[in-house]
């Protein structure tokens, strides 16, 4: 018995930190792939984790910060505002899904919603790169197009995972708040203007 316990302990507690981090990173990376190529698979739902959403949310919130200290009233979203919108938005949508009678667990839904922000984070990255070029209508059209495509990708990815959890006569009621959520995030990305 004792050796068995020892064996169990040494498998995770005594491994090097690098192993632990790599294992978690690989899990996160695998889920990113599932979001980028959405198929009907249960991996995102079965082994949920919230590392991915946290990384994505922090990255997005940091990228939405402008360099200079702008006057408070006039600026874009503060870091805390982005954080609150993403996390409270995801929690509200999850509660909404559960109250409507969906059979998905709380954290599974948070996990899916958080991971499906990945396309929009990629859009933010592309927008920031495009904004380094000369400003003008072409600049705006390119950014608009990229944000629209990534917004559609997010919606498709999240509904591929979430739609099956609702009875068919309430699917639209559950999907609409997801649409609103990603729409608001897309709007924040599109209106980002560096100083």
Partner 1 sequence: MAAADELTFHEFQEATDLLAETPDAVTTSKNDQPTPQGHVAVAMGLGGSYGAEEEVEEESDKAALLQGEKQQPGFWTFGYYQSFFDVDTSQVLDRIKGSLLPWPGHNFVRHHLRSRPDLYGPFWICATLAFVLAITGNLTLLLAQRRDPSIHYSPQFHKVTVAGITIYCYAWLVPLALWGFLQWRKGVRERMGPYTFLETVCIYGYSLFIFIPTVVLWLIPVPWLQWLFGVLALALSAAGLVFALWPVVREDSRLAAAALLSTVVLLHTLLALGCKLYFFQPLPPEHMAPPPQATSLHPHTLLPPTLPRSITAS
Q: Which residues bind partner 1 (CB under 8 A)?
A: 70, 72-78, 81, 96, 98-101, 169-173, 176-177, 180, 183-184, 187-188, 191-193
What is d(CA 66, CA 159) in angstroms, rounded to the nearest whole number? 32
Nearer to partner 1, 7 or 74 (CB): 74
Q: Which is nearer to partner 1, 38 or 76 (CB)?
A: 76
Measured distance CA(54)–CA(59) in Å, rounded: 8
**d(C-alpha 49, C-alpha 47), whole Å:** 7
* Residue written as token pair 């979001």: 35
- Give the span between the Cα atoms of 110 and 112, in whole angstroms: 6
Pick 34 or 166: Cβ nearer partner 1? 166
Which residue shows structure tokens 């990376």?
Answer: 29
Judged by CB, which is closer to partner 1: 35, or 155?
155
Centroid of chain to Cα 26: 17
In the complex, least distance from residue 48 CB atom to partner 1, rounded to whole angstroms:
20
Q: How far is the CB of 95 from partner 1 (least distance, A)?
A: 9
Minimum Å gap between C-beta 170 and partner 1 is 6
Smallest gap from Cβ 10 to partner 1, in A, equals: 41
User: In the complex with partner 1, which residue's Cβ is closer, 4 or 134?
Assistant: 134
Q: How far is the CB of 175 from partner 1 (least distance, A)?
A: 10
Three-class SS string for 8-63? HHHHHCCCCHHHHHHHHHHHHHHHHHHHHCCCCCCHHHHCCCCHHHHHHHHHHHHH
């Amino acid at each position: 018995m004792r050796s068995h316990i020892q064996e169990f302990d040494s498998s995770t507690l005594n491994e090097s930190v690098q192993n632990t981090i790599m294992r978690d990173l690989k899990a996160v990376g695998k889920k990113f792939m599932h979001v980028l190529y959405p198929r009907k698979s249960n991996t995102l739902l079965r082994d949920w984790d919230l590392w991915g959403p946290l990384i994505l949310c922090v990255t997005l919130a940091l990228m939405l910060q402008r360099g200079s200290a702008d006057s408070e009233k006039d600026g874009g979203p503060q870091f805390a505002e982005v954080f609150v919108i993403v996390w409270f938005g995801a929690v509200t949508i999850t509660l909404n899904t559960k109250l409507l009678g969906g059979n998905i667990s709380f954290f599974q839904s948070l996990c899916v919603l958080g991971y499906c922000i990945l396309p929009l984070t990629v859009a933010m990255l592309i927008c920031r790169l495009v904004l380094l070029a000369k400003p003008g209508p072409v600049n705006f059209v390119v950014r608009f197009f990229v944000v629209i495509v990534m917004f559609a990708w997010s919606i498709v990815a999240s509904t591929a995972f979430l739609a099956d959890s609702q009875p068919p006569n309430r699917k639209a009621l559950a999907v609409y708040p997801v649409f609103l959520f990603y729409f608001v995030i897309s709007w924040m990305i599109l209106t980002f203007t560096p100083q």
